[in-house]
Amino acid sequence: MDIQPPTDFLQHAMIKCSYNSGKVKCEPGWSWNPRLLPQDWDLWYVISGTGSMNVNDEYFSINKGTCFLTRPMDRIHATQNPEDRLTVIYHHFSLTHSLTQQAFRSEELPSRLTRVQDSFGFEQHLNQLLDILDRKDIWIEEEFHSLMKHVLLLLYKAHASQEEWSEAKLRQQKIIQGVTN
């Protein structure tokens, strides 16, 4: 299967930071249950720990390498395992079409959940985004846009490799079942 980012996204995505980003080890008893997310996107990545997240009534288990890309107006509730507290990196941002100034449709972006296999490389990019925001120089917006676009492309690739692996596993199971029969 060959999943590719929409051409329109590659050519016309305008990504702006909302300056609400950080890296945090969640406190004991932490849970995340905002009434409604603001009108921005949130990339939420688990560095360590375990827990669960419910997004729009869909349940997910979370652990190292879990990356959520939540949309404006998503309903979210997340909790952590008290014995294995979460450490996360998050970046809020806005995403508009450079020509129309309209928001991108949700289906034009990577899925809400991606399990990142190359956690080391991915975390480096997310930490670079934090460094960009800490520097507060005149290039913040352009650097954030470029690197976040790259991060979203990495999510497309990670999601595609997950699906390819799932398809290969399914083919393998069918072969094993055939031999067993």
Count, residues in the chain: 181
CB neighbours of 146 closer than 8 A, spacing ≥ 6?
none
Using CA atoms of 42, 67, 131, 87 in order, give the dihedral in degrees to the nearest 10: 100
- Nearest CA to 41 out of 77, 75, 74 is that of 74
Give the residue extent of every domain in the chain.
7-180
Tally the C-alpha atoms within 13 A of residue 87's C-alpha that lie toward its C-beta.
6
* Residues 95/109, Cβ–Cβ less than 8 Å: yes
7-180 belongs to which homologous superfamily? Regulatory protein AraC (2.60.120.280)
Dump pLDDT digits (tens) for 102-159: 777 767 778 899 999 889 999 999 999 999 999 888 999 999 999 999 999 899 888 7
Instruction: Give the model's confidence band at 62: pLDDT under 50 very low, under 70 low, under 90 confident, else very high.
Output: very high
pLDDT at 172 over 80: no
Beta-bridge partners for 68: 44, 113
Scored b (16 or more CB within 10 A) or e, 16-36 reads ebeeebeeeebeeebebeeee
Dump pLDDT digits (tens) for 66-85: 999 998 888 999 999 999 99
pLDDT at 39 over 90: no
Q: What share of the chain is helix, strand, coil (3-state, %, to 5)?
A: 35, 35, 30
Out of 23-32, 84-93, 160-169, least confident range:
160-169
Tally the C-alpha atoms within 13 A of residue 35's C-alpha that lie toward its C-beta.
0
Out of 56-60, 93-97, 103-107, 175-179, least confident range:
175-179
